[in-house]
């Protein structure tokens, strides 16, 4: 199949492209589109066969449920059984935006979309193209990230092409890279207490301004315990990974971390491997060999989040075998960064303070 890519410079002038994409959605097809988090691969969330096409195109395990995207808050009503009062305060504060809310689902949402769960994940994206596409389609869109399952989420239309060219009929190209750069915060509101299942652009601190209490799922920085079924099925997979192996170095000081990375670098170079270093602006001067990329300043974790996946893709383009990556403080946006990096590394973390 040929994959058409339509650049959308001006949403009004280029509305014909959104109309064409919406027509595909109504026919039960899939379309990739930009959101403020990452590019999504969307289909009619109320049509099980259309949703199956997403799983096939991505090679996604079908026990991993999808997020349903709406363009108006009121559109969640037919999709849910009940919404606790705090849900409205959350939507008021953070929608449109990178917060996914999990609620008990109604019978309208097919089991393909929720992977058989009795709950549904809902979000209103903060991107004009995404909102226009949902609106024109006239249905909510189930949309995971537009990449092959397990690999890095795309933050440009070019990234989507690299993974899914020939497998999907259309990509809407929003021109600018996605602003947030990491997938949304997933907050479970279907139980007694709100729980963050996946950290993202809406941080625990921001949620605490609206909610009385909010818990963190224990698997955020750890592998899920195989004896229990995880609350968020997506978190059990090795995920968000470049082709190269990733090893994360954690230390009590930046110097100590950089020293250990340099020791490891010597060892891997000695073995004839091509090595990448994911450094930060504060530590760049400690490194002189290998493929060195700064993820940005530690003072600005939101900017690190925006560029993280693009940096990891750069290492793949450079053909490195192994990426030695620095830990960043798991505070606020840093929690989402480390959640993704730890999964990219398959949980391989070297603690240099021991
Ligand atoms: P993605 O679409 O790749 O950004 O992944 C969506 C994330 O939301 C995955 O980690 C899913 O496991 C999670 N998710 C979606 N729906 C639910 C749900 N009903 N309950 C718990 N987690 C969910
Ligand atoms: Mg994904």
Q: Residues 142-151: pLDDT tens digits? A: 999 999 998 9
Report the nearest-CA residue for atom 10 of ligand 1: 234
Rounded to the nearest integer, the mean pLDDT of the chain is 95
pLDDT of residue 232: 74
Distance 240 CA to ligand 2 centre (A): 7
pTM: 0.95
Q: Where in the chain is the domain with CATH 3.90.870.10?
A: 4-216
- Residue with the smallest CA separation from ligand 1 atom 12 is 234
The per-residue pLDDT for 252 is: 85
Mean pLDDT, rounded, for 121-130: 98
Within the chain, all domains assigned CATH 3.40.50.11030 are found at: 245-351
C-alpha distances in Å from residue 316, one per residue of 38, 148, 175, 321: 19, 15, 22, 8
Rounded CA separation 245/237 (Å):
16
Domain 4-216: which CATH class? alpha beta
Q: Kindly state the percentage of the chain with pLDDT values over 70.
A: 97
Q: For residue 228, what pLDDT is reported? A: 67
The per-residue pLDDT for 222 is 83
pLDDT at 198 over 70: yes
Pocket residue to mutate for ligand 1, from 119, 147, 160, 197, most atoms within 8 A of Cβ: 197
Distance CA 166, CA 191 (A): 41
**CA 143 to centroid of ligand 2, rounded, Å:** 9
Determine the atom of ligand 1 nearest the C-alpha atom of 186. 8
pLDDT at 131: 98
- What is the C-alpha to C-alpha distance for residues 347 and 248, in angstroms, rounded to an integer? 8
Q: What is the pLDDT of residues 199-218, one digit of tens each?
A: 999 999 999 999 999 999 99
Structure tokens at 17: 């492209």
160-177 pLDDT, tens per residue? 999 999 999 999 999 999
- Report the pocket of ligand 1 as residue ranges, CB < 6 Å: 64-67, 102, 114, 117, 119-121, 144-145, 183, 186, 197-198, 231-235
Q: Does residue 96 have a cis peptide bond before it, meaning omega lies within 30 degrees of 0?
A: yes
Q: Which tens digit of pLDDT belongs to each residue from 61-117? A: 989 999 999 999 999 999 999 999 999 999 999 999 999 999 999 999 999 999 999
Question: In the block, which residue shows the tokens 């058989």?
Answer: 116
Angle 102-104-106 (CA atoms, 0-180°, nearest 5)?
125
Provide the token pair at 277.
Answer: 């270093």
Q: What is the pLDDT of residue 227?
A: 65
Distance in angstroms (rounded) separating the CA atoms of residues 5 and 287: 40
Position in ligand 1 atom list of the atom nearest CA 120: 19
- Residue whose CA is at the smallest distance from ligand 1 atom 23: 232
Per-residue pLDDT of 237-289, as tens digits, reads 667 789 999 999 998 899 999 999 999 999 999 999 999 999 999 999 999 99
Task: Give 100 Cα–ligand 2 centroid separation in angstroms.
Answer: 13
pLDDT surpasses 90 at 234: no
pLDDT at position 231 = 75
- Using CA atoms, how far residue 161 sits from 38, 87, 186, 260, in Å, is 14, 36, 26, 37
Nearest to 324 by CA among 258, 270, 239, 248: 248
pLDDT at 348: 93
Q: Give me the architecture of the 245-351 domain, per CATH.
A: 3-Layer(aba) Sandwich (3.40)
Q: Which residues surround ligand 2, an ion (CB under 5 A)?
A: 144-145
The pLDDT-based confidence of 236 (bands split at 50, 70, 90) is low
How many whole angstroms from 142 Cα to the centroid of ligand 1?
11
> What is the Å distance from ligand 2's center to 148 Cα?
8
**What are the backbone angles phi and psi of residue 260, rounded to the nearest 5°?**
-65, -35
| 145 CA → ligand 2 middle, Å | 4
């Amino acid at each position: 199949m040929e994959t058409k890519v339509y650049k959308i410079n001006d949403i009004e002038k280029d509305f014909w492209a959104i109309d064409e994409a919406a027509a595909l959605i109504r026919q039960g097809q899939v379309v990739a589109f930009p959101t403020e988090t990452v590019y999504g691969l969307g289909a009619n969330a109320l049509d099980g066969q259309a949703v199956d096409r997403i799983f096939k195109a991505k090679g996604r395990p079908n026990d991993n449920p999808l997020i349903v995207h709406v363009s108006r808050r009121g559109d969640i009503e037919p999709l849910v059984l009940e919404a606790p009062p705090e849900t409205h305060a959350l939507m008021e504060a953070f929608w449109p935006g990178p917060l996914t809310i999990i609620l008990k689902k109604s019978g309208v949402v097919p089991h393909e979309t929720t992977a058989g769960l009795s709950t549904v994940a809902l979000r209103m994206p903060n991107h004009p193209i995404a909102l226009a596409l949902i609106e024109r389609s006239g249905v909510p869109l189930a949309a995971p990230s537009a990449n092959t399952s397990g690999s890095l989420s795309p933050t440009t239309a070019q990234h989507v092409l690299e993974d899914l060219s020939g497998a999907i009929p259309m990509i809407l190209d929003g021109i600018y890279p996605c602003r947030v750069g990491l997938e949304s915060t997933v907050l479970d509101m279907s139980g007694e207490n709100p729980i963050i299942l996946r950290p993202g652009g809406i941080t625990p601190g921001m949620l605490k301004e609206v909610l009385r209490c909010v818990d963190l799922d224990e698997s955020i920085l750890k592998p899920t315990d195989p004896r229990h079924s995880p609350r968020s099925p997506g978190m059990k997979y090795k995920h968000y990974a470049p082709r190269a192996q990733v090893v994360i170095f954690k230390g009590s000081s930046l110097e100590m971390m950089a020293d250990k990375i340099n020791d490891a670098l010597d060892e891997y170079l000695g073995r004839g491997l091509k090595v990448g270093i994911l450094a930060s602006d504060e530590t760049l001067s400690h490194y002189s060999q290998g493929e060195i990329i700064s993820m940005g300043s530690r003072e600005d974790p939101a900017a690190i989040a925006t560029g993280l996946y693009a940096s990891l893709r750069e290492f793949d383009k450079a053909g490195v075998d192994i990426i030695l990556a620095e830990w960043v403080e798991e505070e606020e946006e840093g929690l989402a960064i480390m959640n993704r990096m730890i999964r990219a590394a398959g949980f391989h973390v070297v603690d240099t303070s021991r």
